[in-house]
Chain A
Amino acid sequence: MSNIFSTSIGRKLLMSLAGIFLLTFLVVHLGINLLVLRETQDAFNIAAHFMGTNPVIKVFEIVLFGGILIHIIYGMILSIQNGKSRPVRYKKDNHSQTSFFSKYMFHTAIIVGIFIVIHLFDFYFKAKFTDVVDSVTINGKHYHDLGELVIEKFKMPVFVFGYIFAFIFLSFHLHHGFQSAFQTLGINHKSYTPIIKAFGVVYSILIPLGFAIIPIVIYFFR
């Protein structure tokens, strides 16, 4: 029996599972991020510290990076295969009625991917591997003052624009990706699928909006 992950549907299964995992991660990430909007950044810094040091979370961190990598690598493999399956392109663009964003998953993924790399350099690697992040003492304990770093960054218009721009594209990506993940898993039901699709649309708007609101609030109100 051939390995399931060497077949078209098997690869898609991995894409979808990794995608769904990333969907849940985004919720957690957003929850913590929103803490930065409280009056002090203490809660945010404590949460960030917890995420950075807790051993269980550390395991999940590896899983997370694995998930992202799988999602990216398999996405690339599939896209390359897809490109090869039509060596001669049509002259006239496809006018079939499809969800608009589904046609540009690879393009939106590239933008989101670039953003992730920048994002990691801005915050994650700095906190993890350098001493450039200031320290702050809360209840007698030392923490990286990531909250301050966030506020510092989002006082710069270029960062604000960059982040909002990226989240718009993440929204596009999620718009198709959310419901697509369920379809790939084989979950399609005449009464539940419309609910999944509606929820996916709400999710793809609310989550990126939640992320994007942070730089806006900081830029204008802090």
Chain B
Amino acid sequence: MDFTLKIWRQENAAVKGKFVTYQINDISPDSSFLEMLDQLNESLIDKVQKPVCFDSDCREGICGACGLYINGRPHGPDDAITTCQLHMRKFKSGQTIVIEPWRAKPFPIIKDLVVDRSSFDKIIEAGGYVSVNTGGVPDANSIPIPKANADLAMDAAACIGCGACVAACKNASAMLFVSAKVAHLSLLPQGRVEAKERVRKMVDTMDELGFGNCTNTGACEAECPKEISLTNIARLNREYYAAKLS
């Protein structure tokens, strides 16, 4: 398969970036999108040019490191996948593919397609945990938890922190990310103890970091590689009102 790639190149945060067009040929349809970029980079190195920088690590859709905005969709034209799980068979040979970094104020560009997502860590640091120290905890089976709740908590906890929700949202809102953690912990008795404190701090931090507001468009849910549901945002809203108005 042959492709024309329009890739965002930017030396660092301080300088302006631009799109650069590359031609790449003889790509196997079984190749993953990132393997296609690996091959592009090999050819650039051959030509003594700088390869395109992009984040990727586990390459099996769970670490959340990779994230490219491909032809107008975070993680590209397939559902419920990360960029590393996108395969070239999803494209037509001869197609032009536009590749951009995640764009949001709280995700500044480091280089090319690599962005700084440490704002997500800051949100978790604000309260995305249960305050227990190592040791001195009760037996694991001492608190029965309804299976339905455990399953819902697991659905929410599946978030990989890739940032596709922010990238997809027209407002660059981080509500799906925040709601996934709030929902995960608020559904479990262990997390209920400090539920109010948690949701207040996490939402405040999210606001301070400059993410946009949720307008319930559902783009985040549509692009989430782990299919985190909008119901979590509704739950976040409820938890937030309960915390603020009590």
B98 near A96 with CB under 8 A, answer: no
Report B162 CB to chain A, min CB distance, Å.
15
A13, B72: Cα distance in complex, Å: 30
Is A9 an interface residue when CB atoms closer than 8 A count as contact? yes
Residues of B within 8 A of A (CB): 6, 8, 19, 69, 71-74, 77, 98, 100, 103-106, 168, 170-173, 200, 203-204, 206-207, 210-219, 222-223, 230-231, 233-238, 240-241, 244-245
> A78: which B residues are within 8 A, CB to CB?
213, 215
A103 near B204 with CB under 8 A, answer: no
B213 near A82 with CB under 8 A, answer: yes
A85 near B212 with CB under 8 A, answer: yes
The B contact surface, by secondary structure, is mixed
> A90: which B residues are within 8 A, CB to CB?
69, 72, 100, 103
> A139: which B residues are within 8 A, CB to CB?
none
Q: Give 16 pairs: A residue, B residue, CB < 8 Å, sorted on A.
A: A2-B204, A4-B241, A9-B203, A12-B237, A85-B106, A86-B105, A86-B172, A93-B72, A94-B72, A97-B222, A98-B218, A102-B216, A103-B170, A105-B215, A186-B234, A193-B231
A89 near B103 with CB under 8 A, answer: yes
B10 nearest CB neighbor, chain A only: A88
A7 near B207 with CB under 8 A, answer: yes
A98 near B213 with CB under 8 A, answer: no
Is A57 an interface residue when CB atoms closer than 8 A count as contact? no
B234 near A188 with CB under 8 A, answer: yes
Given contacts A94-B170, A95-B71, A98-B222, contact A10 B244 (CB under 8 A): yes
Known A-B contacts: A8-B213, A180-B216, A193-B231. Give 9 more (CB < 8 A): A9-B203, A9-B214, A78-B215, A90-B100, A91-B100, A92-B71, A98-B219, A103-B170, A188-B233
A90, B207: Cα distance in complex, Å: 22
A37, B199: Cα distance in complex, Å: 52
B104 nearest CB neighbor, chain A only: A86
Is A1 an interface residue when CB atoms closer than 8 A count as contact? yes
Given contacts A10-B244, A85-B105, A92-B72, contact A99 B204 (CB under 8 A): no
A96 near B230 with CB under 8 A, answer: no
A4 near B231 with CB under 8 A, answer: no
Given contacts A1-B244, A102-B215, contact A8 B207 (CB under 8 A): yes
Report B105 CB to chain A, min CB distance, Å.
5
Count A-B pairs with CB separation below 8 Å. 139
> A180: which B residues are within 8 A, CB to CB?
215-216
Is A185 an interface residue when CB atoms closer than 8 A count as contact? yes
Top 7 closest pairs, chain A to chain B, by CB:
A188-B234, A186-B238, A85-B212, A82-B171, A95-B72, A102-B217, A186-B237
Is A187 an interface residue when CB atoms closer than 8 A count as contact? yes
Report B35 CB to chain A, min CB distance, Å.
22
A78, B170: Cα distance in complex, Å: 12
Is A190 an interface residue when CB atoms closer than 8 A count as contact? yes
> A96: which B residues are within 8 A, CB to CB?
72-74, 168, 219, 222-223
A85 near B211 with CB under 8 A, answer: yes
Is A38 an interface residue when CB atoms closer than 8 A count as contact? no
Is A144 an interface residue when CB atoms closer than 8 A count as contact? no
A105, B230: Cα distance in complex, Å: 19
Interface centre among B98, B207, B210, by most chain A C-beta atoms within 10 angstroms, is: B207
Is A141 an interface residue when CB atoms closer than 8 A count as contact? no
Is A140 an interface residue when CB atoms closer than 8 A count as contact? no
A78 nearest CB neighbor, chain B only: B213
> A8: which B residues are within 8 A, CB to CB?
173, 203, 206-207, 211, 213-214
Given contacts A81-B212, A92-B69, A92-B100, contact A183 B170 (CB under 8 A): no
Is A153 an interface residue when CB atoms closer than 8 A count as contact? no
Report A129 CB to chain B, min CB distance, Å.
36
CB proximity to B under 8 Å, residues A3-60 = 4, 7-13
A4 near B245 with CB under 8 A, answer: yes
Report A198 CB to chain B, min CB distance, Å.
16
Q: Quick one: CB contact mask for A62-96 with B, threshold 8 Å, 1 for yes? A: 00000000000000001001101111111111111
B69 near A102 with CB under 8 A, answer: no
A97, B170: Cα distance in complex, Å: 12
> B77: which A residues are within 8 A, CB to CB?
95
Report A107 CB to chain B, min CB distance, Å.
12
A81 near B72 with CB under 8 A, answer: no
